[in-house]
Amino acid sequence: MEIIKVRNLVKRYNGLTAVDHISFSVEKGEIFGFLGPNGAGKTTTINILSTLLAPTQGEVYVNNFNVLTQKNQVRKSIGLVFQDPSLDDRLTAEENLYFHARLYHVSHSEYQKKKEEVLRLVELWDRRKDIVKTFSGGMKRRLEIARGLIHHPAVLFLDEPTLGLDPQTRSHLWDYILRLKAEKEMTIFMTTHYMNEADYCDRLIIIDYGKIVGFDTPANLKKAVGGDIIILGSPQPQQLKQELAQKYALAAKEENGTIMVEINNGKTFLPRLFEELQTQVTSVSLREPTLDDVFLHLTGRKIREEEATPLDRMRQHHFRRRR
């Protein structure tokens, strides 16, 4: 069953296209990921799916409700955890949940039951009477997840749920998210720009400059890279690059003096390579592709935290294209 349907979605702001004709659907019970650098259009898409922004063009259905004409039904169907914290930190954990329950018209008895269940799930039951101000970043994020579940949403949206959290808290948070999927069969739609997190998804869209550049399971996306990755260090990188191209028809990429090639069966290729290679090689490493490699493969660029604001990035992109 399709819980989210998006057809030909376009969003333009002040003449810039943040989301550019994207189409996809999300199945019930899966963890669906949106991966891309900052400013790629991830948050814009979430804001459209959650009725906070109106699409410029295209059709969007969440839980079979139209985001333009059936806003309230869509809102009832979703739980949201925003990229930036959205708790009232002068209220207690419990008061934040109660406020949410009342806004979503959850009955009092239902709220009492749900409150304990969700607070225990994120291990905050003992802290329920504490003012949120005293919570750490990870605890706040967990409380936001608990809050998003109070009204039985059909889909839980997580916008960069682990942004700004330390690695340990991050992996903990993933335990909760995976438990949600396993125990509640919850559909989860998440965005991230961490490649290792994208691995948790059942299916994944890779988005860049508002366009879908890849859409598959993480494993299949990795397969598309073309097997293994060999990284060679050499004092003569240009020469090495040429030799690889001539002898094996390999398109090598150079970065910071190292040479990178994608190849099937790297393990058997390496001994042959060293036997035949003329150019001097000082170091070698072999690894299986990660989603980082997938991104590089698809876009020709590495994914990393961009220092420019999303708008700047969009402008640069447009500028580059015009030239």
Give the shortest CB-159-to-other proteins separation in angstroms.
10
Q: Total binding residues for other proteins by CB under 8 A?
A: 27
Which of 194, 189, 158, 171 shows the shortest CA–CA distance to 295? Answer: 194
108 binds other proteins (CB under 8 A): no
234 binds other proteins (CB under 8 A): no
84 binds other proteins (CB under 8 A): yes
105 binds other proteins (CB under 8 A): yes
95 binds other proteins (CB under 8 A): yes
104 binds other proteins (CB under 8 A): yes
Stretch that binds other proteins, among 8-16, 95-103, 184-192, 245-253 (CB under 8 A): 95-103
20 binds other proteins (CB under 8 A): no
Which of 304, 250, 262, 258 shows the shortest CA–CA distance to 287? Answer: 262
88 binds other proteins (CB under 8 A): yes
Stretch that binds other proteins, among 80-88, 180-188, 219-227, 300-308 (CB under 8 A): 80-88
**Coil, strand or helix: which one is 225?**
coil
Residue where the block lists tokens 């819980």: 3
Residue where the block lists tokens 């035949």: 276
Contact, 251 vs 230, CB < 8 A?
Answer: no
CA distance 3 to 49: 11
Contact, 188 vs 155, CB < 8 A?
Answer: yes
**Coil, strand or helix: which one is 7?**
strand
**Coil, strand or helix: which one is 81?**
strand
Which of 298, 312, 307 shows the shortest CA–CA distance to 16? Answer: 312
64 binds other proteins (CB under 8 A): no
Instruction: Label the pairing between strands 31-35 and 78-81.
Output: unpaired
Residue 113 C-alpha from the chain's centroid: 32
Which of 207, 209, 210 shows the shortest CA–CA distance to 294? Answer: 207
Give the shortest CB-82-to-other proteins separation in angstroms.
6
Q: Which of 23, 86, 239, 309 binds other proteins (CB under 8 A)?
A: 86
Query: Toward other proteins, which CB reaches closer, 85 or 226?
Result: 85
Structure-token pair, residue 282: 């000082």
Give the shortest CB-158-to-other proteins separation in angstroms.
14
Beta bridge partners of 205: 34, 215
51 binds other proteins (CB under 8 A): yes
Stretch that binds other proteins, among 73-81, 172-180, 225-233, 299-307 (CB under 8 A): 73-81
Rg over alpha carbons for the chain, rounded to the nearest Å, is: 23
256 binds other proteins (CB under 8 A): no
Stretch that binds other proteins, among 50-58, 174-182, 214-222, 301-309 (CB under 8 A): 50-58
Give the shortest CB-310-to-other proteins separation in angstroms.
17
Contact, 9 vs 19, CB < 8 A?
Answer: yes
152 binds other proteins (CB under 8 A): no
**In the chain, count of helices (H) and strands (E)?**
12, 14
CA distance 98 to 108: 9
Query: Toward other proteins, which CB reaches closer, 90 or 247?
Result: 90
110 binds other proteins (CB under 8 A): no
Q: Which of 68, 103, 182, 311 binds other proteins (CB under 8 A)?
A: 103
Query: Toward other proteins, which CB reaches closer, 102 or 318?
Result: 102
Residues lying near other proteins in the complex (CB under 8 A) are found at 50-52, 71-73, 75-76, 78, 80, 82, 84-91, 95, 99-100, 102-105, 147
